[in-house]
Amino acid sequence: MTNADHWRKRAEQTRALAANAVKDQGRLLKVAEEYDRLAAHAEQRRSAPVPAGSYVPASRPE
């Protein structure tokens, strides 16, 4: 499961809670929207190219 998949699943679960909620339905839907934004951000980060020279591997202790 990717990070984006994780946030999409959380959004789906939160919407299911909101569908059955008597109180705080609007708040739960806003939380679900935020999870969707996090998923979109994770997708952008995953597909963004890494600039040349920006990755420096950690040194291993000898």
Q: What is the pLDDT of residues 30-62, one digit of tens each?
A: 999 999 999 999 998 877 776 766 665 666 655
pLDDT at 27 over 80: yes
Query: What is the model's pTM?
Result: 0.70
Between CA 20 and CA 37 the distance in angstroms is 23
**What is the predicted pLDDT for the residue at 39?**
95
**What is the predicted pLDDT for the residue at 60?**
60
Find, among 44, 40, 30, 36, the residue nearest to 11 by Cα: 36
Confidence of residue 26 (pLDDT cuts 50, 70, 90): very high
Kindly state the tokens that stand for 31. Answer: 């939380």
Kindly state the tokens that stand for 50. Answer: 């890494």
Between CA 39 and CA 41 the distance in angstroms is 5
**What is the predicted pLDDT for the residue at 1?**
66
